[in-house]
Amino acid sequence: MVSTHSAESIYRFSEKHIPIGIRFFAKRYRTENRRFVKGFGIMKDMFIEAIIVEQKRIQRLIDLSRSGPTGRGHLKIQKQGYRIYAYERWQKKGQPERVVYLGPLDSAPVRELVSIKFQEQRLLRLQHDQKLLQQLAKQYQRYDFATVVSEMPRAYRIAARENSFNQRYEEVRKWANADYPKNPYPFPVAENYAEDGTRLRSKGECIFYNLMKGRGILFRYDCEIEIVDQHGNKKKLCPDFMILCLDGTLIIIEHLGKMGQLRYALDFGERCYWYFQEGYVLSKNFFVTSDDPNHGTDSRIIAKVVDQIERMFFGF
């Protein structure tokens, strides 16, 4: 998103030990339209969240850089024969130059000086990026439905309310938050948590969960449903997500994390049969994503699916 805070160095500085920090959600209300925006649901903008997370990370790096030693001179290299020697040089205005011998290039004093100067230069870049992100967060304009409509002329806001968006959204919210039978199967050993602390079964589900929550899409997670086929046979299934659109359309989502396992793949094929009996058609009201053969999860693919679901959910 912004310039990377790294430098080419033979000393390979590592930032793995630095925690990313706490995620915060940006919640902005316009006072005169608070009732309308709140009724429709505040759509958290993922871009703003990313800016806030990056600001937190940069601030931690700034604090770390400032905690180190400062006030050192500059590195000076001098070649004598086949060997290269390093010196630390100070030059203040109106004062004679002061030079201290450090040793060969691979000596500990040279490594220490290079590390300190790297921290100083990185601190300047961090401070630059911090100011840049602060300006961007202030100037960035949200474009979700609720925010855009809330800032349109009064006639449009009234029309939106008259079209019962608020009332219908609250009805769907009650459906999503109501008690419902959930998947009785135990969670896997690997722990996956969404941004709000909800535990989910896979990385892909976490991406779906965070994106849909951020866009104000209401859903049930891991709910148990019973389907009856044309012969009267019954089957209980637990889709990863079930969404009730504002127009009454039901959508289900399945993210497949173990398609490399034959039994898992065959089981999914059987689930597709039962979903079809209930009227769930692929790419219409039944969406499927999966991990790749190396167990990688592409959030870009999931984001495209959520884009389509968002349009279906709100009806625009």
Q: What is the pLDDT of residues 135-144, one digit of tens each?
A: 888 888 777 6
If you search the block for the tokens 């929550």, which residue do you land on? 213
pLDDT of 75 higher than 50: yes
- The SS3 of residue 249 is coil
pLDDT of 205 higher than 60: yes
Residue 145, pLDDT score: 67
**Pair of tokens at residue 111:** 């490594």
What mean pLDDT do residues 279-305 have?
92
Residue 90, pLDDT score: 83
What mean pLDDT do residues 210-232 have?
90
**Of 235, 213, 237, residue with least CA distance to 224:** 237
Averaged confidence pLDDT in the chain: 79
Residue 1, pLDDT score: 39
Q: What is the pLDDT of residues 106-156, one digit of tens each?
A: 888 888 888 888 888 889 999 999 999 988 888 887 776 667 777 888 788
Q: Domains of the chain by range and CATH?
A: 1-71+115-163 (no CATH), 164-314 (3.40.1350)
- Angstrom CA distances, 168 to 27, 114, 127, 217, 220, stand at 22, 62, 46, 13, 17
22: buried, middle or exposed (CB in 10 Å: 19+, 13-18, 0-12)? Answer: exposed
Does the pTM surpass 0.85? The reply is no
- Angstrom CA distances, 208 to 155, 215, 300, stand at 35, 11, 11
Residue 23, pLDDT score: 29
